[in-house]
Chains A and B, each alone.
Chain A
């Protein structure tokens, strides 16, 4: 009888160990899953999430156009020799003024 009950006890202990091991594995898995879930739901440091590259590409295109227009404008300014023209205009204006004064004095 003792032998039988001893065997039963051993069997029971063995089973309990097996079950507790399974429980531990299950708990570990749950812990891992919980961690993963936490990571996925944690707000990202850079919340800007834009999967639509079309907006970015459009902005690149607009900026490229703007820089081309700016360079074009600079080129036109350099070609126009605006300072030279201004000096020439000042000279012509002064001549016209002097001529007007002379005519006025002669009358």
Chain B
């Protein structure tokens, strides 16, 4: 994402959570490694894991929808945090610990806008009726 300047990116890449696809656009996915660090989201996650009976499900949804973690990491990260808490780590220690995860962001964009030869980017081709005949 560093190779694309902000203005170009904002004009050509549209978050699929907030936009509908336009004609001629494809689905492009950006993946990168990130660290889940201390902040209000993490503190809230710790709180729901400790105090809420549906904390596990809530944590998964937050990781997936807010933090854009992959399906696997949206389960793995809360699981690691919960295990650390259960094994005796304090809230402060868990909040300070950095949990490694993969994040992915999906955008509608034109094919020519996606950087080539960049391993972070993946374009998803959609099979339509015309390709079968």
Contact = CB atoms under 8 A, between A and B. Distances in A.
Interface size bracket, A side: 20 to 34
Interface residues of B, number: 29
Contacts of A1: none
A66 B56 contact: yes
A86 B131 CA distance: 12
Interface string A27-55: 00000000000000000011010100101
B6 interface: no
Given A55-B52, A70-B71, A48 B78 contact: no
Contacts of A79: none
B91 A46 contact: yes
Nearest to B131: A90
A62 B54 CA distance: 9
Contact of B55 (A55, A64, A93, A97): A55
Most buried by A among B46, B56, B60, B83: B56
B65 interface: no
B26 interface: no
Contact of A59 (B56, B72, B132): B56
Interface of A: 45-46, 48, 50, 53, 55-60, 62-64, 66-67, 70, 86, 90, 93-94, 97
Given A50-B51, A62-B56, 18 more contacts: A46-B91, A46-B92, A48-B47, A48-B50, A53-B86, A56-B82, A56-B86, A58-B53, A60-B82, A60-B83, A62-B57, A63-B79, A66-B56, A67-B72, A70-B72, A70-B75, A86-B127, A97-B133
